[in-house]
Amino acid sequence: MKAIYILWLRQLKRYIRNRSRIIGSLGQPLLFLIALGFGMGPLYQKAVHGNYIDFLAPGVIAMGILFTSIFSGVEIIWDRQFGFLKETLVAPVPRIYIMIGRTLGGATVALIQGVVVFILSMLVGFRPEHIELIPVAFLFMFLIAMLFTSIGTAIGSMLDDMQGFQLIMNFLVMPLFFLSGALFPLNGIPFFLKLIATFDPLSYGIDGLRAAIGTGAHFGMSIDIAVLSILTVLMLSLGAFLFSKIQL
């Protein structure tokens, strides 16, 4: 357990030291909130009769968590290239502890990122519908962070270098975000888009956030928690398996 704590703390220190990464990672969520929130707001108001920023904010919060989580997992590739991973793996500690420690550290970093974006969204004009459910929203943020950090760890364990990084961005991360219903309501969309969103794990995280602090759920909060919890356990298991097979 001590190894898990040390690796968790190491991930946090790495994040805190990299101030440029902290500032840079806030640029995209802020751009979405301002450009889309105010640009598409009048159209959304006419079509749905609601505040688009209130609808958009949970999706943007999830976006900040998604990108940070995936990148935290993929950092395994950097550590492998520069020898840091070898120093960790030679320690007399089961690899499952190393993987759990890294995943918890990456998920904590992503959760912090999500809380910061949540605060920024409130400064832009977002107002939570249910203040008492904010702790539930933090639970959804943590589940999103754990799930996608595990996915990032699984991907990083399979790749030897960063050449496949753009492939991950273009064919995994961006579709996960744009097809999750983060930017548009899932009610009334074409069947094939709704089907894709149903199989998109991020959809349930965003839906849960909307149920807790936004404009209401599409799938239902209990379904969101169940799906995220099951997928997190499955991806943690897969990530642990692939991490244990890393050859240095």
Which one is predicted more confidently, 147 or 100?
147
Alpha carbon 44 to its chain centroid, in Å, reads 26
Task: Determine the average pLDDT of the residues in 76-97.
Answer: 72
Q: Which DSSP string do the residues of 64-128 spell out, in sequence order?
A: HHHHHHHHHHHHHHHHHHHTHHHHHHTSSS-HHHHHHHHHHHHHHHHHHHHHHHHHHHHHHT---
- Furthest-apart CA pair in the chain: how many Å? 62
Dist CA 174 CA 9 (whole Å)? 29
Is pLDDT of 99 > 60? yes
Is pLDDT of 246 > 60? yes
Task: Determine the average pLDDT of the residues in 18-45.
Answer: 77
Is pLDDT of 86 > 90? no
pLDDT at 248: 61
Half-sphere exposure of 160 (CA within 13 A, CB side): 2
Dist CA 104 CA 4 (whole Å)? 8
Most confident of 13-22, 77-86, 98-107, 162-171: 98-107
pLDDT at 159: 75
pLDDT at 22: 64
pLDDT at 202: 94
Query: What's the pLDDT band for 229 if we cut at 50, 70, 90?
Result: very high
pLDDT at 118: 92
Whole-structure pTM value: 0.89
* Amino acid at residue number 78: W
pLDDT at 140: 94
Evaluate whether 75 touches 112 at the Cβ level (below 8 Å).
Answer: no
Dist CA 108 CA 213 (whole Å)? 20
Is pLDDT of 95 > 90? no
**Cα Rg of the chain, angstroms:** 18
Least confident range of 11-15, 29-33, 106-110: 11-15
Q: Each residue of 120-176: pLDDT tens digit?
A: 898 888 888 888 889 999 999 999 999 999 988 888 888 777 676 667 767 888 889
Is pLDDT of 191 > 80? yes
pLDDT at 13: 67
Return the closest-CA partner of residue 200 out of 175, 223, 221.
Answer: 175
pLDDT at 224: 93
Return the closest-CA partner of residue 11 out of 83, 93, 81, 84.
Answer: 84
Q: Which tokens in the block code for residue 149?
A: 């950090």
pLDDT at 204: 94
3-class secondary structure, 192: helix
Q: Considering the chain, what is the average pLDDT of its residues?
A: 83
Domain ranges for the chain, please list them: 2-244
How many of the other CB atoms lie within 10 Å of CB of 83? Answer: 10
Evaluate whether 89 touches 248 at the Cβ level (below 8 Å).
Answer: yes
Alpha carbon 157 to its chain centroid, in Å, reads 18
